[in-house]
Structure 1
Amino acid sequence: MTDYQNLSLNELQTVIDNAEKALKNKLVNHRKEVIAQIKELAASIDVSVEITEIDKKSPRRGVKVPVKYRHPNDPDKIWTGRGMMPKWLRTLIDQGHDSSEFKV
C-alpha cells in the first residue's frame, strides 16, 4: 500500500486523478451491466424496456442573475432583487429613501 504522506503534491494529485478516472470507469461499466440485466430480465418475461438517460444537472444551476440594486457609497454591496432584502437596503428605505434610487 502506498504511503500517501510521503508523496509530493504533484504525485498525490496524480493518484487522485487516476483514482477518479478509475471510479468513473467502474461506475459506467456497472451502469451498463445493470441495464443489461434489466433488459435480460424483461426479455425473460417477453417484455421490452426502453431506458432513457436522465440529465442530473439542474438547468438553473449556475445561472447568474443581473444586479438590480447597488449601495450608493459601497459598490461592493449589491442585490439582485431576489430573496430577502439586504440590511443595507432596508436601512436606507427606513431612512426615507426609495428603492428606485438604488437601481442599476
Structure 2
Amino acid sequence: MTDFQNLSVNELQTVIENAEKALKNKLVNHRKEIITQIKELAASIDVTVEIIENDKKSPRKDVKVPAKYRHPNDPSKIWTGRGMMPKWLRTLIEEGHDSSEFKI
C-alpha cells in the first residue's frame, strides 16, 4: 500500500482522481450486473421488466448565478440579488446610497 504522507500534492491529486474513476467504473459495472440479474429472474417467471435509468442531473443544481452587486471598498463582498440583502448593502442603503451605485 502507498504511504500517502510521502506523496506530493500533485501525486495525491492524481491518486484521488484515479480512485474516483475506478470507483465510478466499479459502480457502473455493478449496476449493469444487478440489472442483468433482475432481467434474468424476471424472464425465469415469464415476466418482462423495463428498467428506466434516469442519469440526468437537474440543470439548476450546477447553475451559478452571477453577482450583481459589489461592495465599493471590499470587492470580495458580492451579492447576486437573490435571497436576503447582505448587511453591508443594507447598511450602505441606510446611509443614503442607492443600490444601483453598487451594480456590477
TM superposition score normalised by structure 2: 0.70
Q: Cα 1:81–1:39, aligned 2, differ >3 Å: closer, same or farther? A: same
Identical-residue share of aligned pairs (%): 80
Residue pairs, 1:61-76, within 5 angstroms: 61-76=61-76
How far, CA to CA, are the matches of 2:16 and 2:22 in structure 1? 10
Give the paired residue count: 103
Deviations 1:63-104 (A, max 9, x none): 232322223344433211012211111101222333233333
**Which residue of 2 is the match for residue 101 of structure 1?**
101
Using the size of structure 1 for normalisation, the TM-score is 0.70
**Counterpart contact for 1:66–1:80, Cα < 8 Å:** yes
| CA distance in structure 1 between the aligned counterparts of 2:76 and 2:12, rounded to whole angstroms | 38
Q: CA RMSD in A?
A: 2.8
Aligned residue for 2:3? 4
Identify if the C-alpha distance between structure 1 residues 56 and 7 changes in structure 2 by more than 3 Å, giving closer, same or farther: farther
Query: Structure 1 stretches of 5 or more lacking a match?
Result: none
The code of the aligned residue for 2:103 comes to K
